[in-house]
């Protein structure tokens, strides 16, 4: 008999929020949710294999707390445009979000939240656009690596590489190096859905019983499209020579105030994630370990995440 999971906020209907679109680069439109206009802007950035839907349990509680909540789909994901020139990388994601929030929506400053690929993107955003980011929440992803702290890593028995290709991370090789063969195998919508569902179910990213049947369907549906599934693999291909528009700003300490959260049931992000964050973030709160959750912390423990986010950004709200 499984131990009952902590009760989570109800999941809004699929069509609960209006989907907006805006051009952020030539020929590139991002889809996004924007609720609570007029509050302090919080930008929630998804990773892979996610879309803006992974934040569905967080939007309303944060809006009710007085925040303007902005939730984009990264280029190639969800309802955003697919790049006709196959232009996907971490800096393009970062610049797209800055263009959306700063240039289109008119915010000079904001708070950022991200895990997985989204966590890496918000670090680049904070480093690339000084003064744009007031604070961040960062969880379950690859921490920045700080080359000048090589002795510190060695003293703690760590390599400079923070994400090894272990038995649960073989997908990174397949999506990065062997993507053509993998795409040929996933030759039907049903097979693509099954592949993505495994990340939420069998690949040990999430805490057991975190997702119900209707949740799996909600999360995997956008990846039925082979072009969108392939677009999500772009960050993994960088390790095997995929061209970058420019290098992301990830090999340095982060000075932006950052709250570090960690879902310990995640079997893909290494257990030394909290320790690595201690050296990478100069102005940090935490790391705080959130029990009974893994990689999809914002969904699995929305009850905790929403309250922590409200508190962490509370003094930045207008009025």
Give tens-digit pLDDT for 175-212. 999 999 999 999 999 999 999 999 999 888 999 889 99
List phi, psi (to 5°) of 64. Answer: -60, -25
In a domain, 181, yes or no: no
* Residues of the chain above pLDDT 70, percent: 96
In a domain, 265, yes or no: yes
More confident residue, 152 or 265: 265
208-242 pLDDT per residue, tens: 889 999 999 999 999 999 999 999 999 999 999 99
Task: Provide the number of structural domains found in the chain.
Answer: 1
C-alpha distances in angstroms, 277 versus 52, 114, 177, 217? 25, 14, 28, 33
Write down the pLDDT at residue 2.
Answer: 59
- Please say if the pLDDT value at position 165 is more than 60: no
Cα separation of 288 and 221, whole Å?
32
More confident residue, 314 or 155: 314
Give the three-state DSSP class for 149: helix
Write down the pLDDT at residue 151.
Answer: 86
Q: Which CATH number does the domain housing residue 307 bear?
A: 3.40.50.1820
In a domain, 34, yes or no: yes
Cα separation of 317 and 265, whole Å?
33
For 85, the domain range is 19-160+245-316
- Please say if the pLDDT value at position 1 is more than 50: no
CB-based contact 136:258 (threshold 8 Å)? yes
CB-based contact 226:183 (threshold 8 Å)? yes
Q: List 43's β-bridge partners, or say none.
A: 70, 112
Burial class (CB in 10 A: 0-12, 13-18, 19+), 155: exposed
In a domain, 3, yes or no: no
Task: With CA atoms as reference, report the closest residue to 64 among 306, 267, 316.
Answer: 306
In a domain, 201, yes or no: no
Which residue do the tokens 């990773």 mark? 47
Sign of the torsion formed by the C-alpha atoms of 298, 276, 248 and 220: negative
293-303 pLDDT per residue, tens: 999 999 999 99
Q: How confident is the model at residue 122 (pLDDT cuts 50, 70, 90)?
A: very high
In a domain, 132, yes or no: yes
In a domain, 133, yes or no: yes
In a domain, 174, yes or no: no
10-44 pLDDT per residue, tens: 999 999 999 999 999 999 999 999 999 999 999 99
């Amino acid at each position: 008999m499984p131990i009952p999971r902590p009760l989570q906020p109800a999941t809004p209907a699929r069509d609960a929020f209006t989907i907006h679109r805006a051009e952020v680069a030539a020929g590139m439109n991002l889809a996004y949710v924007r609720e609570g206009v007029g509050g302090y802007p919080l930008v929630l950035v998804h990773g892979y294999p996610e879309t803006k839907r992974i934040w569905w349990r967080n939007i309303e509680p944060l809006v009710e707390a007085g925040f303007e909540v902005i939730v984009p789909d990264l280029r190639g994901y969800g309802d955003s445009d697919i790049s006709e020139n196959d232009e996907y990388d971490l800096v393009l994601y970062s610049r797209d979000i800055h263009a959306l929030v700063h240039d289109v929506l008119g915010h000079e400053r904001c708070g950022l939240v991200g895990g997985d690929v989204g966590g890496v993107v918000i670090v680049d955003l904070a480093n690339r656009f000084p003064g744009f980011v007031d604070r961040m929440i960062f969880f379950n992803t690859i921490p920045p690596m700080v080359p000048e702290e090589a002795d510190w890593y060695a003293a703690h028995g760590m390599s400079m590489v923070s994400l090894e290709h272990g038995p649960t991370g073989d997908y990174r090789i397949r999506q990065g190096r062997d993507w053509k063969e993998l795409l040929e195998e996933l030759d039907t919508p049903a097979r693509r859905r099954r592949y993505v569902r495994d990340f939420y179910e069998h690949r040990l990213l999430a805490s057991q019983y975190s997702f119900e049947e209707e949740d799996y369907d909600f999360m995997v549906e956008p990846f039925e499209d082979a072009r969108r599934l392939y677009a999500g693999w772009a960050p993994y291909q960088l390790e095997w020579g995929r061209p970058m528009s420019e290098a992301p700003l990830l090999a340095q300490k982060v000075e932006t105030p950052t709250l570090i959260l960690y879902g310990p049931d995640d079997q893909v992000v290494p257990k030394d994630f909290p320790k690595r964050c201690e050296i990478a973030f100069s102005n940090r709160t935490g790391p705080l370990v959130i029990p009974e959750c893994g990689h999809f912390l914002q969904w699995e423990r929305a009850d905790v995440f929403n309250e922590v986010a409200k508190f962490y950004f509370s003094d930045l709200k207008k009025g």
